[in-house]
Amino acid sequence: MLPDAITAYSTYGDPMNPCIVFPTCYGGRLDSQDYMIGADKALDPTKYYIVTFALFSNGESSSPSNTPPPYNGPYFPAVSYEDNIRAQYAVLTKELNVKKVYCVIGFSMGGQQAYYWPVIYPDFVEKYIPICGSARTSMHNKCFIEGPKSALLNSKDFENGHYTKEPQFGIRAFGRAYSAWAYGQTWFREHGYLMDGRYSSLEDFLRVDWEGGFLGTWDANDMITLINTWQDGDVTLVGKSSFRAAHDDDGFASVLRGIKAKGLIMPCKTDLYFPPEDSEIEVSHLGDNAKLVVIDSVWGHMAGGGANARDDDFIKTEVRKFLEN
């Protein structure tokens, strides 16, 4: 339980237009959603009413870092995707008077939320677009998550979440453990860590992009709670009290077959977190209501998050085509 929980959101466009829900990903904040929003981008606010939602524990919605005692810091409760979607639904229906969502779209953790929406609210959502996400976090993905999470939890300055100053050793270790999986192997061969002269060495790249990406901007307890939400993602758990149930392939297929909304499933060819093979399995259960479009990119997971113009243009074309049909 979390009394007086807060769900942070932003809106774009005319409320009379069809509503598109665009939740954040890991490391995402409301102001970072703009990479897909604009008249010349995938989500046009002159045609749609776009609502962006901040995940619990991102530092804007209720989080370990901004919640008063007795639920602050390491005492913050575990949060599931289902908790997030139910809170977002409350904002849409009670605060914004939205009667129906035309489409839910998201990248990474946002993509996983896009899968959850038509499962939890089957008659409320018409379409959904997971970009570099999955309907459940695979065992392979869970194993990856254990790396950066353990690097932070076991650092000498994390102090079991009771730190009184930023645990830099832990956050730096987390960033380094997180780094290699973000890009495809081919990206490193074609682009390398020098990034067209931006960095002088691999050490420079890791320190600036990956340590610097979290230091000073992300609370360590927020990072842990948020990554636990990712790790426990599984649409077959909707409505169940336990986060951690054994994977049930028959149940998984049944849940996906029950989705009535139309889906555009967009994995990246070289994504190491959410590989396209997982999406192929999901689409085989989704049937004629879903279309698989693979992003042919060397940028790995980052292809879906606004990392480069070529992938952005491809995603924009496919998303607009899907939304307009």
Give catalytic residue positions: 108, 271, 301
Alpha helices (runs of H) in 121-235, residue ranges in sequence order: 139-153, 168-179, 185-190, 202-205, 220-231
d(CA 190, CA 272): 17
- Cβ atoms of 259 and 287 within 8 Å: the answer is no
- Cβ atoms of 286 and 257 within 8 Å: the answer is yes
* Residue 289 identity (one-letter amino acid): N
CA–CA distances in Å: residue 298 to residues 98, 145, 175, 279, 302 = 38, 22, 21, 18, 9
- Cβ atoms of 222 and 63 within 8 Å: the answer is yes
